[in-house]
Amino acid sequence: MCDAPANESVGWRDPGFIHDGVMGNLKKGVKYYYQVGSDSKGWSAIHSFMTRNGDLDETIAFMFGDMGAATPYTTFIRTQDESLSTVKWILRDIEALGDKPAFVSHIGDISYARGYAWIWDQFFTQIESIASRVPYHVCIGNHEYDWPLQPWKPDWSMYIYGKDGGGECGVPYSLRFNMPGNSSELTGTRAPATRNLYYSFDMGSVHFVYLSTETNFLEGSRQYGFIKHDLESVNRTKTPFVVVQGHRPMYTTSNEIRDAPMREKMLKHLEPLFVKNNVTLALWGHVHRYERFCPLSNFTCGSMGKNGLNWKGYPVHVVIGMAGQDWQPIWEPRPDHTDLPIFPQPERSIYRGGEFGYTRLVATKEKLTLSYIGNHDGKVHDVVEILASGEVLNAGVSRDIVDSEISQAETTYDHGVESTFSLFVKGASILVLGAFLGYVLGFILHARKGALSRNTWTPVKSEET
């Protein structure tokens, strides 16, 4: 590999042989059973998976970034204990699907091995219950790739691309995963080229695009050419929704100062492509929080389109790097008081939180729904619904709830006079009750004080020793 500790002996474990098995001539929407192993070395348990059915409109995916792996013991590098809960809840959702096809999307910072090969083994053991049942798609993050001598490192990225990859330079990532397409970049060393950088595919009613924020994405690069051509070629009749995914976010209200130059380049080179080609969702990791934005173009919100009123369809950006890594930056403080722990939430940030979890995407030809599931209870904490037209239906709750709240507000308005009088009576009653309880409590305390003053006390000592 390319740098320490990946090319040193500490923490090294020989990965042995990596076998790729190819199954051909699979039928659509059929459940297949399989085993892995040999007669001489033994066989695995029997696993099964459902093949994708291109004739169906429904799309189901479980999406997150920055998960990592946990170990049942203390080790010399930091591991991610919360990743166990993420795996547990996703497995619950997959089992509930029965025979419906689905897939997982892990958008960078995958195992956090950072040069210690045995962590990759631990990670794959941890996700086996999921990855043996559904496709496990990935894109590259800084902790799989970045090293001091990486070939693309423009001046503005001097403090962005560092040693986060632990010298792996994408080698384990490239050899342990096989994603669609043939994208690759030379490392400039004896290490093999980095693969699985950018690609796309259709599933049901959604076209998914994966990109690399760690290699050249500027206009004129091969990756930019791929993204441009791919987005312009989408058949919106077949796949009315387009979801783009990458590791470092284009938008965040987390105080990620170091990545600011990269976000500026992404806004300049990539956002115009997203807006022009009506990208539905842009999903990002890297920031270890969940944050959903309004439909955005150059920091300007399009309308959320509540109740069918005026709306403007821009891409909805969502940061989903909350799957396991527990290091959290602060939110952006007030510009004029950066020393105070006050973090106002900008209007463009619709929902943000620090709880671990993952997102679940469900789409048909008519509507796409993205839900944020929290790890502490396995329940939905935020949801956004987007129509095929690009209209965003809500700001975090279902349309039925929104309509119910509007109806309730109208009822309150109709009975406004009566409600005001009722509140006045209730308030006066509470004041009278409070005064009475205060009098009783004061009487009791006064009586106890008098009783104590009449007691005689025996000192335990008469002077300091």
If pLDDT is split at 50, 70 and 90, which confidence band does 409 have?
very low
256-276 mean pLDDT: 96
Please tell me the pTM assigned to this model. Answer: 0.83
Tokens representing 132 are 């043996």
From first CA to last CA, the distance across the chain in angstroms is: 68
Q: Which residues of 155-172 are buried (b: 16+ CB within 10 A; e: fewer)?
A: eebeebbeebbbbbbbbb
Least confident of 151-160, 335-344, 411-420: 411-420
Is the separation of the CB atoms in 399 and 375 below 8 Å? Answer: no
From 1.10.1740.10, 3.40.50.1820, 3.10.180.10, 3.60.21.10, which CATH number describes the 31-397 domain?
3.60.21.10
Q: pLDDT tens digit string along 166-217?
A: 999 999 999 999 999 999 999 999 999 999 999 999 999 999 999 999 999 9
User: At residue 309, does pLDDT exceed 60?
Assistant: no
| Sequence ranges of the domains in the chain | 31-397
